[in-house]
Structure 1
């Protein structure tokens, strides 16, 4: 997807778009993390808000008021603060994002069985089979927008088109809080006005090559012989860009793409060499990761530890468990064991991460009974903590070792900078 904003076409007032054959929808939440945070802080609506970590962290999301100042996701926090010094910076609450995402996906699945999630906040839908029940694609898109606003309290933008590629471009052009239909007969007209960077597969280097060839718009690519594109860009890229420039995208909407992993990682506010601080962070991340799995109804078999050193060298270690788990204690014990096995001695560490792979639905998990095991155990304790956190906020209950040291002011002095 383009790094630039797709121009928003002007549709004549009162025009009813022809959505015949346009059964592919791309639905994308607007500034998702920031929008969910505003549910906690409604008094901040209309103000620039940034969701992210400390100065060595990155921006996870920003409201459109902050984006107008040049702030965008993945930007270093220090630069974001300089561009928009009046912005309110909020820490992320990933459990809230997982909960709202689950609600949004439930709306999608109640509309059509053919839902292809791309991330927590966006998905492709094929609504061909829902037309008789819910109306045409445009009517379905409006219904989705209304339900998400009513049930989740956030806004989304929807692109309606004949193909996935064009639907995603249309949703980007509709942002924020908009709906754009690209009629099948006007697909080429819509595409040919866009810059070359709007095409999938055009990164910075490919864009530089295209500009050197004098190709600035999608129309320029469309009218360039495919052999010329292949020689300049390679066989696969050249042919793909030529096909996309004419709106040809045969890929269907795949129902339910399986999530591959759930995890969290943090960059320390400064490089650390104290194993106690790393152990605390591993516990914090294991707690967060297991909580996300439970919120998403998932369990996993493989625990992965990631360690990045001060010189940016990165190590990963993993261990596969006998059976899937979503229990914080098990995830933490495994990650802690992986760290101890590294045998690090006062190494300066910049980042640490924990994730779980090999995911399966938690409902399909078979729990092995152990002789003498108590009927109520660690999983039940986790569920109790989840209920308290849902009511009183994350951090209302936490392991004692994660409490700030006595006399510490302003929270945890070891708090890391860039939660993801």
Structure 2
């Protein structure tokens, strides 16, 4: 492996719970065990989406982010379960407590996965492999759930490793094997390479990490833009990102897809009021205030737009957020439009880098996109 800028190699663990929401439901409800279930919206209507599918459902091709209708077509016997986020958060908090027995350098990515830096672990075990095995066993013993773990010297490789032998997997990729491992990896397995980019790569004759590695950084940039520099690094197993225990929230919001298109301003504003209540509840729960309100609109033909307004002071009160969203809605001239989804997001939790307050009150319009 090519050396990074660090003289001391880190010991990084990536823990990823196995089919988290579905596994919690199967643990808590014996009638679901061994059966294909999908946690998410109902296939009735048109707004249902699968959040997580059990491994029994995945055998039929059911996947997260898939429409519930499509999931039901693939697996007619699929059982749909409404999510219980309070239950998942309680389990996640217990998992986080297990992590904290070994290190304070924990970077949660979501309720069900996190990076841990155990270069200097609290219990002075000294072995990331042993720590990962102990964490997996504690999760199994204390929560009756399984997790998969990846261990390596950086975040990127550890994350790939955790996904290799699911469920209940464990994979260690050491410094001496990183180069050969990355070279043999199919391009679609690289985190950050989506389906479209993977297809583009394959059309160029780039099927594995070894194929990417033959290209210079400049060539990768010319083919794929700025992200080409990222590909150049990761194909060599280089990732200098630190585990960030205080990773900041970028945005927080809520949205709703309606069973029937909204066609009147009165209907739209009523829905924004409901969504606004959810957003404010979440903001207050996490004690957050933001400076930018963003309105998301999806029309019946699936066109989608966003409009946002920034303030020169932080907000998290219901009245300001909802009234701002309504004004942004009116600015889109919603009359005679058919709207299938509305969403409100608050962001910009940092200090504004503006030279004057007039700029803070401007409305930024983003272009239409499919």
TM-score by length of 2: 0.78
Q: Which residue of 2 aligns with 1:226?
A: 216
Correspondences of 1:77-156 after superposition (within 5 Å): 77-130=68-121, 133-156=124-147
Deviations 1:301-337 (A, max 9, x none): 4454433333424243447596654xxxx43x33432
Partners of 1:316 and 1:102 in 2: CA distance: 35
Partners of 1:65 and 1:88 in 2: CA distance: 11
Partners of 1:79 and 1:138 in 2: CA distance: 40
1:267 and 2:253 correspond: no
Within the candidate set 41, 60, 69, 1:53 is matched to 41
Q: Which runs of 5+ in 1 are unaligned?
A: 1-19, 361-420
Q: Which moved more, 1:132-141 or 1:60-69?
A: 132-141
Is the contact between residue 120 and residue 126 of structure 2 (CA under 8 Å) also seen in structure 1?
A: no
Partners of 1:355 and 1:227 in 2: CA distance: 37
Q: Which moved more, 1:201-210 or 1:259-268?
A: 201-210
Is the contact between residue 108 and residue 144 of structure 1 (CA under 8 Å) also seen in structure 2?
A: yes
Q: Which residue of 2 aligns with 1:36?
A: 24
Deviations 1:187-242 (A, max 9, x none): 223223321222244333432343234332223333x2426843762564444334
Q: Cα distance, 1:21 vs. partner?
A: 5.4
Q: Cα distance, 1:72 vs. partner?
A: 0.9
Partners of 2:29 and 2:284 in 1: CA distance: 25
Q: Cα distance, 1:258 vs. partner?
A: 0.6
What is the aligned length?
334
Partners of 2:21 and 2:31 in 1: CA distance: 16
SS class of match (1:36)? helix
Q: Which residue of 1 aligns with 2:324?
A: 338
Q: Which runs of 5+ in 2 are unaligned?
A: 1-7, 351-370
Moved over 6 A (4+): none
Which structure's relative contact order is higher, taking Cα pairs within 8 Å and 6+ residues apart?
Answer: 1
What is the root-mean-square deviation of aligned Cα atoms in Å?
3.1
Partners of 1:298 and 1:149 in 2: CA distance: 32
Task: Tell me: CA distance 1:285–1:107, structure 2 relative to 1, closer, same or farther (3 Å).
Answer: farther
Q: Which residue of 2 aligns with 1:299?
A: 288
Is the contact between residue 10 and residue 117 of structure 2 (CA under 8 Å) also seen in structure 1?
A: no
Partners of 1:245 and 1:304 in 2: CA distance: 36
Q: Which moved more, 1:127-136 or 1:161-170?
A: 127-136
SS class of match (1:298)? coil
Q: Which moved more, 1:333-342 or 1:28-37?
A: 333-342
Correspondences of 1:379-398 after superposition (within 5 Å): none
Deviations 1:68-89 (A, max 9, x none): 1111111122211100111101
Task: Tell me: CA distance 1:280–1:53, structure 2 relative to 1, closer, same or farther (3 Å).
Answer: farther
Q: Cα distance, 1:160 vs. partner?
A: 0.3
